[in-house]
Amino acid sequence: MNEAAYWLGFSLAPDIGVKRFTVLLNAFGSASEAWGASEKALQEAGLEGATLARFTQFRAKCELAVAYAKVEQFGAVLLTMQDEGYPSLLKEVPFPPMVLYVRGTLIEQDSLALAIVGTRKASPYGRDAAQYFAKHLAQNGVTVISGLAHGIDAAAHRAALENNGRTIAVLGCGIDQVYPRDHSGLASDICKHGAVISEFPVGTRPDAHNFPRRNRIISGLSLGVLVVEAPESSGALITATTAAEQGRDVFAVPGNIFNPASTGNHRLIQDGAKLVIKVDDILSELNIAQRDFQVKTTTEKIAPANETESSILSLLSTEPIHVDDLARQANMPIMIISSTLTLLELKGLARMVGHMQYTLGVD
């Protein structure tokens, strides 16, 4: 068996964390030598008492070849902390995962990464903000990291993919599972343009206590964390706190002061997170040079084609408005309003954010 299989064995063993494993690795020179060492040698290396007893019992029963084959069975590769492809940023955090299960590919470019996190119950404003930042970060060569959850996470992953960017999803379960289940298609797309990764063994269910551990990897893979929309109880705040403890930058998008979904963001800003309203705020803070893109002049930009489109656009804002309200305010028939909104959507000037509710399009 290869060396990675022995790393896998130690990662599955009870009571063997990064600290104890590092001691053994230093004592024996390799995971395979440590795995095959006698009880006396392990005791001399510092593995003692109940920990030593549990490890030797586990080792006797563990079928390493079977465990390693399970990883490959689900189309994943195993990265150890000694592998060249193990993310360099993650190595810097306290107690990084001994092994990572990876579907897809991790590349050197992914060291230029930002995490985008937030509530699962995102508002239209929150989704638009996540899509805006993910889009422009992707266009500037920044890998978008998130957790594959509904709401802000999904919006960020999809916007990165739609703009030919790279994105990485970190799971709070085994690599053989996708949580939530309805994001299996999204996970497959991410694997083609990035990676889905986990530190949890194959077969691990997405239990609640896994997600704080998952969140430390999200921040550990990133230069900074952007909290787009998060109530006080959101797990995104755990990610932000962990990021600060890891020495990463924390950014927050301001929201509606009357919307409970933004109370977490506002507290972060009060506590010192950098308030951001455009992608340049992040790029400049992280000292990332903005890429040069061909920008259309004002005369080249898509413009309303007629007075009807102009009138309806003048009534749209970042706040959703119902078609019935547009009809009343514009003094136009619903049929005209609906057909015009369809055309404005195709041009990217308007956006449907709910049942018969519209906002201005987002650049």
The percent of residues above 70 in pLDDT, for the chain, comes to: 95
Residue range 64-93, pLDDT digits in tens = 999 999 999 999 999 999 999 999 999 999
Looking at residue 163, what is its pLDDT?
Answer: 95
108-285 and 307-360 share one fold: no
Q: Tell whether the model's pLDDT for residue 301 goes beyond 60.
A: no
φ, ψ at 130 (rounded to 5°): -60, -45
Tally the residues of the chain.
363
Q: What is the mean pLDDT of the chain?
A: 91
For 353, the token pair is 């954010």
Q: Tell whether the model's pLDDT for residue 27 goes beyond 50.
A: yes
> Is residue 100 very low, low, confident or very high in pLDDT (cuts 50, 70, 90)?
very high
Contact 39, 52 (CB under 8 A): yes
> For strand 113-118 and strand 99-104, is the pairing parallel, antiparallel, or unpaired?
unpaired
> Is residue 298 very low, low, confident or very high in pLDDT (cuts 50, 70, 90)?
very low
Contact 127, 151 (CB under 8 A): yes
> Is residue 348 very low, low, confident or very high in pLDDT (cuts 50, 70, 90)?
confident
CATH classification code of 108-285: 3.40.50.450
Looking at residue 357, what is its pLDDT?
Answer: 86
Looking at residue 291, what is its pLDDT?
Answer: 57
Residue range 247-293, pLDDT digits in tens = 999 999 999 889 999 999 999 999 999 999 999 999 999 888 665 44
Looking at residue 272, what is its pLDDT?
Answer: 93
The number of beta carbons lying within 10 Å of the beta carbon of residue 358 is 25
Residue range 162-214, pLDDT digits in tens = 999 999 999 999 999 999 999 999 999 999 999 999 999 999 999 988 998 99
Residue range 49-70, pLDDT digits in tens = 999 999 999 999 999 999 999 9
Mean pLDDT for the stretch of residues 15-24: 92
Name residues whose C-beta falls within 8 Å of residue 301's C-beta, 6 or more positions apart in sequence: none
Distance CA 134, CA 138 (A): 6
Q: Tell whether the model's pLDDT for residue 335 goes beyond 90.
A: no
Looking at residue 306, what is its pLDDT?
Answer: 84
Looking at residue 76, what is its pLDDT?
Answer: 95
For the segment(s) 307-360, the CATH number from 1.10.10.10, 1.10.260.40, 1.10.3720.10, 3.40.1190.20 is 1.10.10.10
Q: Tell whether the model's pLDDT for residue 297 goes beyond 90.
A: no
Q: Where are the domains of the chain?
A: 1-66, 108-285, 307-360
Q: Which residues pair with 117 in a beta bridge?
A: 227
